[in-house]
């Protein structure tokens, strides 16, 4: 049986426990994006529960322990990792914004903008900032950008959206 942890992939969770999709929707309406077949095949395959919690705006501890309880697993101790709680880096106010891209319409239309955003990251000039506006924290994208050497910072804005800043030093 799959042990549910912050590192469990959303896709493998739903394969092992399909009934937990309803529990995810109860925890946050943002998990409704999982009904989109494109996002289900792409994001759910690579996103961990820790990343999913960030995208949904709930604590990873709440998410993991609620799911563990639902399948009869013992709860875990304190777990935390909220990227919007981190202090704002100096470069957010100093470095010029190269591009701002609101992916909300694409996500709401059932599209997955990962390819477009990764191309923007690839073309981002040194010393500039790319801002992605989304209805959730794009944790898998942020992790991929960090692996490419970019700095990432996120902060909530209006209407439940989050600005995620990508800086190429």
pLDDT in tens, 127-148: 999 999 998 888 888 888 988 9
- Residue 128's SS3 state is strand
Residue 102 located in a structural domain: yes
Same domain, yes or no, for 53 and 113?
no
- Beta-carbon neighbour count of residue 65 at 10 Å? 18
* 103 and 34 within one domain: no
Q: pTM for the complete prediction?
A: 0.59
Residues 31 and 91 in one domain: no
Residue 41, φ and ψ in degrees, nearest 5: -75, -25
As a whole number, mean pLDDT of residues 17-38 equals: 89
Is the same domain home to 113 and 50?
A: no
Q: Is residue 75 assigned to a domain?
A: no
Kindly report, residue by residue over 119-128, the tens digit of the pLDDT. 999 999 999 9
In a domain, 78, yes or no: no
Instruction: Report the phi/psi class of residue 56: left, alpha or beta, with left for phi > 0 and alpha for psi in -120 to 50.
Output: alpha
Find which of 6-10, 88-92, 162-166 is predicted with most confidence, using mean pLDDT: 162-166
Domain extent for 103: 83-168
Flag whether 76 is in a domain: no
Number of domains in the chain: 2
Together in a domain, 141 and 99 = yes
Q: Residue 93's domain is classified under what CATH number?
A: 3.30.110.40
For range 86-115, the mean pLDDT: 89
Asked if 45 and 90 sit in the same domain, the reply is no
- Residue 44: band (very low, low, confident or very high) from pLDDT cuts 50, 70, 90: confident
- Cα gap 49→103, rounded to integer Å: 22
**Smallest Cα–Cα separation from 9: which of 98, 127, 20, 103?**
20
């Amino acid at each position: 049986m799959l042990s549910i942890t912050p590192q469990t992939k959303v896709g493998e969770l739903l394969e092992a426990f399909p009934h937990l999709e309803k529990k995810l929707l109860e925890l946050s309406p943002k998990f409704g994006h999982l009904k989109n077949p494109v996002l289900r095949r792409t994001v759910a395959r690579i996103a961990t529960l820790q990343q999913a919690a960030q995208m949904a705006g709930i604590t990873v501890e709440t998410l993991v322990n609620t799911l563990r309880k639902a399948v009869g697993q013992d709860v875990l101790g304190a777990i935390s990792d909220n990227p919007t709680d981190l202090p704002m880096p100096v470069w957010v106010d100093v470095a010029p914004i190269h591009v701002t891209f609101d992916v909300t319409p694409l996500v709401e239309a059932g599209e997955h903008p990962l390819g477009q955003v990764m191309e923007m990251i690839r073309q981002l000039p040194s010393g500039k900032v790319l801002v992605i506006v989304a209805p959730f924290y794009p944790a898998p994208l942020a992790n991929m950008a960090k692996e490419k050497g970019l700095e990432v910072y996120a902060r909530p804005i209006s209407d439940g959206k989050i600005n995620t800043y990508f800086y190429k030093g």
